[in-house]
Amino acid sequence: MDSKELRTKSKDELTQELNSLLKAHFSLRMQQATQQLNNTSELSKTRRSIARVRTILGEKAKQS
């Protein structure tokens, strides 16, 4: 999801998105630890998405 789509969402929706990304990242880390993860680039993609959502949440917090 790109930042333009994220900026249109409310704080509650962004929080839900962040929670789902954190769960997905945890799942990917567990798969990597058990040697079941085939596509290791997914780890960095989810980590960047988490950072994107946290940045936009911070921007929205400063605005209000």
Residue with tokens 């409310």: 10
| Distances, alpha carbon 25 to alpha carbons 17, 49, 60, in Å | 12, 10, 24
Whole-number pLDDT of residue 54: 97
pLDDT in tens, 40-59: 999 999 999 999 999 999 99
Which pTM was predicted? 0.93
Amino acid, res. 55: T
Segments making up each domain of the chain, as ranges: 3-63
Residue pair 25/47 in contact (Cβ under 8 Å)? The answer is yes
Rounded to an integer, what distance in angstroms lies between the CA atom of residue 16 and that of residue 57?
11
Kindly report the CATH number that applies to the domain delimited by 3-63. Answer: 1.10.287.310
Whole-number pLDDT of residue 2: 86
Phi then psi for residue 35, to 5 deg, are 60, 30
pLDDT in tens, 1-28: 789 999 999 999 999 999 999 999 999 9
